[in-house]
């Protein structure tokens, strides 16, 4: 894995979000805003030390991440804090990496949700909700939802993205 300034900042911000999310089940606005500022400053610093400046990539990644995150928030797939943290670390991504990061996060979120359902004997409720969604196309019973702190999936998704970069898969 490549451990440069951008990755250290991303992992630090996402780890802070995980700690906050696990403790309070909320990611405060100040944490999201601070993370966005730190990530942006890291991009500015790294760009200033390189011979070429690539401002379009962080801006395009930020724009795409904003559209994705706000859409998932509007559909009530994600909470507001999760959406804001996804947007906050997006300047550290390349435009083409943004959907891959999203996919990694969703895979980890699914793994965490299934694990939580199995450990808490909620698998029946999870399958019931899936059948209601897929077959009957009705709203799900909110009391049977298996909820996980998605900030953990955001962190694991970023670590997966770093691994893919390190393997030369991106």
Residue 116: pLDDT band by 50, 70, 90 thresholds?
confident
- DSSP label of 167: T
- DSSP label of 52: S
64 Cβ contact list (under 8 Å, min separation 6): 90, 95, 98, 99
Please tell me whether residue 13 adopts helix, strand or coil conformation.
helix
pLDDT of res. 146: 60
Q: pLDDT tens digit string along 60-115?
A: 999 999 999 999 999 878 889 999 999 999 999 999 999 999 999 999 998 998 88
Please tell me whether residue 26 adopts helix, strand or coil conformation.
coil
Average pLDDT, integer, range 41-66: 85
CB contact at 8 A, 157 and 141: no
Please tell me whether residue 122 adopts helix, strand or coil conformation.
coil
134 Cβ contact list (under 8 Å, min separation 6): none
Average pLDDT, integer, range 147-168: 92
Please indicate, yes or no, whether the overall pTM of this predicted structure exceeds 0.75: yes
């Amino acid at each position: 894995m490549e451990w440069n300034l951008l990755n250290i900042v991303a992992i630090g911000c996402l780890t802070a979000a995980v700690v906050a999310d696990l403790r309070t089940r909320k990611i405060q606005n100040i944490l999201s805003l601070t993370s966005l500022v730190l990530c942006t400053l890291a991009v500015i610093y790294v760009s200033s030390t390189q011979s070429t400046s690539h401002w379009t990539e962080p801006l395009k990644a930020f724009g795409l991440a904003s559209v994705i995150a706000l859409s998932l928030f509007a559909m009530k797939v994600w909470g507001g804090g999760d959406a804001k943290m996804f947007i906050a670390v997006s300047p550290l991504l390349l435009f083409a990496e943004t959907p891959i990061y999203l996919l990694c996060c969703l895979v980890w979120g699914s793994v965490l949700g299934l694990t939580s359902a199995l450990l808490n004997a909620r698998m029946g409720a999870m399958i019931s909700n899936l059948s209601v969604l897929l077959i009957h196309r009705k709203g799900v019973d909110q009391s049977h939802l298996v909820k996980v702190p998605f900030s953990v999936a955001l962190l694991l998704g970023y670590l997966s993205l770093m691994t893919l970069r390190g393997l030369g898969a991106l």
